[in-house]
Amino acid sequence: MNAKIITLPGDGIGPEVTAEAVRALNGIAAKFSHHFEFEEHFIGGCAIDATGTPLAEATLDACRNANAVLLGAVGGPKWDRGEVRPEQGLLGLRKGLGLYANLRPVKPHSALAHASPLRADKLAGVDFIVVRELTGGLYFGKPQGRFDQDGHKRAIDTLEYTDVEIRRIVDLACRMASARRARVTSVDKANVLASSKLWREIATQTALAYSAVTLDHLLVDTCAMRLVVAPASFDVIVTENMFGDILTDEAAVLVGSMGLLPSASLGAGALGVYEPIHGSAPDIAGKGIANPIGAILSAAMLLRHSLNLPREAEMIERAVDRALSDGCRTADIAQAGERVLSTQAMADAIIERM
């Protein structure tokens, strides 16, 4: 297979972990006689410095014409005070590519039970995926902004969803559940928000087309509690943009480190953006200690969802599992006395096991 992959390393540790994910993909290409062409562009803070905007139109066009996009991380204190923010690049990328669904699988590794604050028995059987709506809700609502009125500073954000946006994300969740354990949990705040009342109504209607799938509804605060007390009860969670953003960061605690979790942002076609869920971590940037696993597993999701190469994706995933089972650790997941590997050394360990 020939494929063009745009890399957007971004800021902080983004370039470090993206480089290791590219090495893993090159390893796959060599083993299976694929040809992956990589083309690097700016996004986020480094794009602001280079072009004045967090996402140049030329970068967006390059992504549109690629088979997949591999992204690192954006942001940092350097750009916190400006009106133009690195995170606007992410929002523009998702909207510009029509990527309405963010997939975040959560499956703790048995060798890392010590890294989670939950008891090992709470982690037994945990294997779920969060399907987060990505292009609607508060992050894209209009109007929004800050202004002065009657001598007071005010700010406004608007939470808006349409039936079309809700139906397509719930439909995707139901299709994914059909290939798993056939349980979908739709998360909302229907006891307070009009948008959530509509969400619950449309979710219920959409799930009727999937007779084998069981749909239940949870308020977001109840879901946040159950992620801690009964995480194994979930199969597929589907929710709106901001709730999904918060709940997936909470779910990262189950596996022990945000550095371990990948994500995929998908739309109607095969093109997707793949990135670890962690941020730019500027405090450790350049030290060679970032965990590359989330980025490498994101590369595996790229192979599976955009390039339709499930065997190759599974090779990376099994190599990660073996490396962790063999005791390979970066600083964020190591116990006292364990040997700590650098970013590159951890990637070496994974690639050797492919």
pLDDT value of position 330: 97
* CATH for 159: 3.40.718.10
Q: Which of 44, 52, 33, 107 has the alpha carbon at shortest distance from 262?
A: 107
**Identified catalytic residue from 11, 100, 122, 139:** 139
- Beta strands 236-239; 214-219: pairing state: unpaired
**Identified catalytic residue from 171, 249, 321, 348:** 249
- Clarify whether 150 is annotated catalytic: no
CB atoms within 10 A of CB 216: 11
What is the total count of domains within the chain? Answer: 2
Q: Which of 33, 101, 100, 93 has the alpha carbon at shortest distance from 64?
A: 93
**Identified catalytic residue from 80, 221, 283, 326:** 221
pLDDT value of position 102: 97
Same domain as 247, residue 288:
no
Owning domain of residue 345: 1-115+259-354
Q: Does pTM top 0.95 for this prediction? A: no
| Contact (CB, 8 A) for 11 and 17 | no
Same domain as 89, residue 51:
yes
**Identified catalytic residue from 188, 245, 274, 332:** 245
**Identified catalytic residue from 161, 188, 189, 235:** 189
Q: What is the mean pLDDT of each run of 10 residues along the chain (354 residues)?
A: 97 98 98 98 97 97 98 95 91 95 95 90 95 94 84 92 98 97 98 98 98 98 97 98 95 92 96 96 97 98 98 98 97 93 98 98
Same domain as 226, residue 97:
no
Which positions ≥6 away from 57 have C-beta within 8 Å?
none
> What 8-state DSSP symbol labels residue 116?
S
Same domain as 213, residue 241:
yes
Same domain as 111, residue 92:
yes
pLDDT value of position 126: 96
- Clarify whether 283 is annotated catalytic: no
- Clarify whether 139 is annotated catalytic: yes
Same domain as 237, residue 128:
yes
pLDDT value of position 147: 82
pLDDT value of position 219: 98
Same domain as 109, residue 143:
no
- Clarify whether 321 is annotated catalytic: no
- Based on its alpha-carbon atoms, the radius of gyration of the chain, rounded to whole angstroms, reads 20
- Clarify whether 245 is annotated catalytic: yes
Alpha helices per DSSP H over the chain: 14-32, 45-51, 57-64, 87-97, 120-123, 163-178, 194-207, 220-229, 241-255, 293-305, 310-325, 343-352
Sign of the CA dihedral with 23 first, then 293, 310, and 185 last? negative
Single out the residue in 222, 237, 255 at which a domain terminates.
255
Same domain as 248, residue 271:
no
CB atoms within 10 A of CB 34: 17
pLDDT value of position 83: 85
Same domain as 94, residue 66:
yes
